[in-house]
Amino acid sequence: MKSKKQRKYIFVTGGVMSGVGKGVAASSIGSILKARGFIVTALKIDPYINVDAGTMNPTEHGEVFVLEDGDECDQDMGNYERFLNVTLSRVNYMTTGRVYQEVIRRERNLEYKGKNVEVVPDIPFEVIRRIEIATEKANADFTIIEIGGTIGEYQNMLFLEAARMLKSKRPDDVAFTMVSYLPIPSKIGEMKTKPTQYASRTLNSAGIQTDIIIARASVPLDQKRKDKIAMFCNIRPECVISAPDVESIYDIPINFERDHLSTILCSLLKVDLKNRPMRCAAWRSFIKRSKSVKDEVNIAVVGKYFNSGEFVLSDVYISVLEALKYSAYKVGKKLKLHYVSSHPFEKDAKRIGELEQYDGILAPGGFGSTGVEGILKAIQYAREHKIPYFGLCYGMQLAVIEYARNVVGLKGAHTAEVDPKSPYKVIDIMIDQKKLMAENNYGGTMRLGAYPARLKKGTIAREAYKTDTIIERHRHRYEVNPEYIYQIESAGLVFSGTSPDGQLMEIAELPREIHPFFLGSQFHPEFLARPLSPHPLFTEFMKAASDRHNKAK
């Protein structure tokens, strides 16, 4: 039986240019409403034909975030989960491809009962249907819907039409927020509002009048420009929210609330705030702690998505980087990240010694052969020189390969993904995936989503989690080959986490008496790290790195 709760919907759109923080704005809006005691959920609409984000190049699109149910989605879904501290599912994510795919499926199954199926209104109807399903599933008071892309683009027109139709159907339950950039040309030195005015008028042409404008700029907005934007965009001055660049994205909800955004939204949507004080003490405490730590710990993220030490795209490993921050703050340190390309280690063996300067080394997830030999050299150096090492997914697999080669003595050991002719394929394809790969059907074919694992007593993993059974999110096709487990463990590497049936190796580590911290996880622990609840494995890694840092002082 459906709840009679009056649902409220807040659409977040982007004006002027992309990349100005719609996802963080949507997450922050949700977090301040949740701090008022409301139940909040969030959806992301991506205007791509791709059915999901799994086949997109991370250097172009950013990280592929994996939900508990295995859906591969946009990185903004990670922001929603981190800011709202909720678990979302595939009903909270849609793409153009996914919407069209469902409409076509329903048409083929005669679910439209013979009617003429058209782009308008049937595609917008499907978008609205999905929004309502996600809202009902969460029993949400507020649903935040971020429409990807920028106002005026052809790709998101149908999603804007869906928003307009929902507003027409439920005028008191829908509000619009536009995140718009205000440039300050260097030769002029004056903040310009005209691009935002044009964006607002373009949104008007889609039949939508925005209620709130979040004004993104390098500096705070002054009252004169607030008044000007309000006048020409047809909103009240108090509905123009200043959103200057900040030191940390976690400052943004507090900044929004300083401009009374939650009160304004509830007023627009006729929601009573009586007996709903703002409760954000834990969030404020987290921000205070993050700013009070001064002592830096140096962590090298060794990967292939770097170029001469510079990050190609910071969003490639955004969940990893945020998880490192949370755990650094927890152990009283400030994180200083160093993005280290593995390619130079392949060309110049002497450069591997540069890793000695770091307090910890992390190898993140990835695919393919590019830069792998360099990462293997970095893992070997970390193991032999007792530098804390943390491997995630591919980083764990490569740690097993390095150990098999250089300790077990299996020369030429490799993963079948890179070298299918290796004499010792210690990492091999999952059997049930071979057929799908042979058919060149790669989308959504990996081991995806949450799976349980059991932990061995007396291990770092068991000590970190403080429980015997865990559930973590996966995204991979290859596993540790069971044929080599006995040899590898006999040589000292411990598989401290396994699937409940003992067939799949989930965590590999060296005992503390051999190494201060040498551990890899087949899963992606970064997907469960939260600002207010850092992930235990990241925290153990940061503790070891902190100890190394303190000893070096």
Name residue 450's beta-bridge partners: 473
Task: Compute the distance between CA of residue 178 and CA of residue 14 in angstroms, rounded to an integer.
Answer: 5
DSSP 90: G
Alpha helices by DSSP H, 234-371:
252-258, 261-268, 281-292, 318-330, 343-347
Task: Compute the distance between CA of residue 126 and CA of residue 71 in angstroms, rounded to an integer.
Answer: 19
Catalytic residue among 515, 526, 540, 549: 526
- Is the omega angle on the peptide bond into residue 121 within 30 degrees of 0, that is, cis? yes
Q: Which of 472, 479, 448 is nearest to 536 (CA)?
A: 472
To the query of whether residue 526 is one of the catalytic residues in this protein, the response is yes
To the query of whether residue 439 is one of the catalytic residues in this protein, the response is no
Q: Cα 535 from chain centroid?
A: 14
To the query of whether residue 393 is one of the catalytic residues in this protein, the response is yes
Q: Do 466 and 444 meet the contact criterion of CB atoms below 8 Å apart?
A: no
Which residues touch 66 (CB under 8 Å, ≥6 apart)?
72, 73, 448, 449, 473, 474, 475, 524, 527
Which residues touch 230 (CB under 8 Å, ≥6 apart)?
236, 237, 239, 240
Catalytic residue among 414, 524, 535, 549: 524
Q: Do 77 and 46 meet the contact criterion of CB atoms below 8 Å apart?
A: no
Task: Compute the distance between CA of residue 376 and CA of residue 412 in angstroms, rounded to an integer.
Answer: 12
Catalytic residue among 63, 393, 472, 479: 393
Q: Which of 505, 542, 499 is nearest to 400 (CA)?
A: 505
Which residues touch 267 (CB under 8 Å, ≥6 apart)?
none
Enzyme catalytic residues: 393, 524, 526
